[in-house]
Amino acid sequence: MMKKLTDSRWFYILVSILMAFVLWVYVGKEANPIATGTIRNVQVVFSGLDVLEERGLMISDGASQTVSLNIQARREVFKRLSQGDVTVTVDVSGITEPGEQSIPITTRIISYPRSITSTDAIDLRYTSPAAVDFTVSRWETKEVDVLAVFEGSVAEGYQRGEITVTPQRISVSGPEELVEQVDHAQVTIAQEGLTETYSEQCSYSLVDLDGGVVSSSNLKTDPESVLVTLPVEVLKEVPLTVNLIDGGGATAENAKVTIEPADTIMVSGSQSDLEGLKEISLGDIDLSDVYGTNTFVKEIELSPELTNVSGITEVTVTVTIQGLATRTMKVDNIEIINTPGGYEAEAITKSCSVLIRGPEEEVNKVTESQLRIVADLSNTDPSTGSRTVPVKVYLDGSSKVGVVGDYSISVSLS
């Protein structure tokens, strides 16, 4: 019986198939053995972030991290793993309160490339770290002021103005504990030797109450830069002057003028605005109104383009007449002109003492007949009765002697 079996052709066919299968299994195991290895830099992916955001929460720390997976699998599986992405997915949609979180890394949250099927046996031995640790914080937004600090310098003969920042406030958003630390934003200008206005779009730093810089890596700001303008103007010392009008026998040569508290002021402005500015006039002073020494209070007025750096807005001008003689003369030559129609005018004042001034020799030559008083009633109220009206005193026949002061007389209308 045994002999017949061994002589059978089918017997040898079956033995050959069996030996081929055994050889195939043996060779397969030897060519694709089970190996152990570590997959490094596996990216941690968070899902459910939109749900977290709807609750006013965010991942403030640990949002970007990687882990290492130590696994055991066939060598051919390792080859396929290297051809695709391996990720660890953490679902945060179930988190409702801020705080520290720790999610253990298990096979359930590990995703392998599509080329890996359920028949590919992968044994997760351990992970490093063993859990995904992260922090969930409450999302907060607030506005803070933007302050500008100048740590540079302007060139000699120039002056800087006030720094302006546009916009003056920015929005800061992020984890509640970080946003709470921010007191203001700060821009620092460090340019040296400025000779013209500085205007640039600048970035800024977030600063806490103690002046320390707050890291902005986990914060969002809007806008990300601000426009900073630092006016730089020319600084110039300009003298103050008065325009002396000859009168009362005196000219500018006879007048001593002092201006207090200062006869110059510092003015700032653009180069073009200051280029032609040689002096600042305080106005006119009629020397016929000055007898001996008189003082006048004058305001300093500048064009809108200029700035009074000294801060002196008014001065006292003292004018003293020197080197001239004076003489008081009685004048009774009084004339009334431009009497209102239908009225008659009569001078109640019959004579007036008038002060004249000039070089002593010329003053002594003047006679009373050279002086006359004229009352012009063209602007008087046309009503009956007496009133005081200003008069003009004329000195005829002398160009070097003049009348000093203002005069008036009483006139009656009927």
**Co-location of 260 and 298 in the same domain:** yes
Question: SS3 of 238, please?
Answer: strand
pLDDT of residue 78: 86
72-102 pLDDT, tens per residue?
Answer: 998 888 888 877 789 999 999 999 999 999 9
- State the CATH number of the domain containing residue 117: 2.170.120
pLDDT value at residue 380? 84
Does the pLDDT of residue 27 top 50, yes or no?
no
CATH number of domain containing 403:
2.170.120.30
What is the CATH classification number for the domain harbouring 287? 2.170.120.40
Q: Which of 205, 230, 255 is the last residue of a domain?
A: 230
**Which of 182, 208, 230 corresponds to the end of one domain?**
230
Count how many domains the chain has. Answer: 5
pLDDT category at 394 given cuts 50, 70, 90 is very high
Same domain, 317 and 330: no
Tokens (6 digits) for 392: 């003009």
Whether residue 209 sits in one domain with residue 152:
yes
What residue ranges in 9-117 does DSSP mark as E strands?
A: 34-47, 57-61, 66-74, 87-91, 99-104, 110-111
Residues 165 and 213 in one domain: yes
Q: What is the pLDDT of residue 262?
A: 93
Q: Are residues 270 and 295 in the same domain?
A: yes
Q: Is the dihedral of CA 113, 118, 120, 123 positive or negative?
A: positive
pTM of the model: 0.56
Cis peptide before 129 (omega within 30 of 0): yes
Same domain as 262, residue 191: no
115 and 182 housed in the same domain: no
Mean per-residue pLDDT, 375-401? 87
- Taking the C-alpha atoms of residue 338 and residue 386, their distance in angstroms, rounded to an integer, is 16
* Residue 373 shares a structural domain with residue 405: yes
pLDDT of 381 = 82
Do 114 and 56 fall into the same domain?
yes
For residues 203 and 148, state if they share a domain: yes
CB neighbour list of residue 230: distance below 8 Å, 6 or more residues apart: 148, 150, 160, 161, 163, 189, 194, 197, 198, 199
Which residue range forms the structural domain that includes residue 15?
1-30
pLDDT tens figures, 174-199 = 999 899 999 999 999 999 999 889 99
List CB contacts of 396: < 8 A, sequence separation 6 or more: 370, 371, 372
What span, in angstroms and rounded, lies between the C-alpha atoms of 200 and 30?
Answer: 71
Instruction: State which of 275, 296, 321 marks the end of a domain.
Output: 321
pLDDT band at 349 (very low <50, low <70, confident <90, very high): confident
The pLDDT > 90 percentage for the chain reads: 61
Phi-psi domain of 157 (left: phi exceeds 0; alpha: psi -120 through 50; beta: other) = left
Using 50, 70 and 90 to split pLDDT, how confident is the model at 265? very high
Q: Are residues 378 and 341 part of one domain?
A: yes
In this prediction, residues 18-42 reach a mean pLDDT of 69
Which pLDDT value is given to residue 34? 87
Same domain, 145 and 216: yes
